[in-house]
Amino acid sequence: GQSLEQPSEVTAVEGAIVQINCTYQTSGFYGLSWYQQHDGGAPTFLSYNALDGLEETGRFSSFLSRSDSYGYLLLQELQMKDSASYFCAVSGNSGYSTLTFGKGTMLLVSP
């Protein structure tokens, strides 16, 4: 079967750095994506890794190790507005473009 594991909750203070880990087990794999969702809102795309290594987009970076079936999202210079749920998702389980999501990590940023 398929499974994605990520912590259910992470807390941090403004200005800090936080890392959200994701391990996965899937029958097909093309890449690992990260999405952000504010309470009750629409998930929004943050990043995508198809190859091993680090991808950087502003304050956010994402890493993938295909051999370890592991990735992480790194958020730097945390701001209050970063308080949200973060989902890792793998593509390839039901087809190239379909996404299988983890249960999400709720990030709480305090002043």
Partner 1 sequence: DSGVTQTPKHLITATGQRVTLRCSPRSGDLSVYWYQQSLDQGLQFLIQYYNGEERAKGNILERFSAQQFPDLHSELNLSSLELGDSALYFCASSVGTSFSNEQFFGPGTRLTVL
Instruction: Rule CB under 8 A: choose which of 1, 39, 42, 67 binds partner 1.
Output: 42
CB of 13 to partner 1, least distance (A): 27
- Quote the CA–CA distance of 6 and 41 in Å, as a whole number: 20
CB of 67 to partner 1, least distance (A): 21
Which range of residues in 12-20, 37-45, 64-72, 73-81 is near partner 1 by CB under 8 A? 37-45
| Binding status of residue 8 toward partner 1 by CB under 8 A | no
- Quote the CA–CA distance of 92 and 25 in Å, as a whole number: 12
| Binding status of residue 15 toward partner 1 by CB under 8 A | no
CB of 35 to partner 1, least distance (A): 8
Instruction: Rule CB under 8 A: choose which of 40, 58, 67, 81 binds partner 1.
Output: 40
Q: What is the DSSP track for the chain?
A: --EEE--SEEEEETT--EEEEEEEE-SS-SEEEEEEE-TTS--EEEEEESSSEEEEETTEEEEEETTTTEEEEEE-S--GGG-EEEEEEEE-SSSTT-EEE---EEEEEE-
Binding site for partner 1 (CB under 8 A): 30-31, 33, 40-45, 48, 50, 87, 91, 94-104
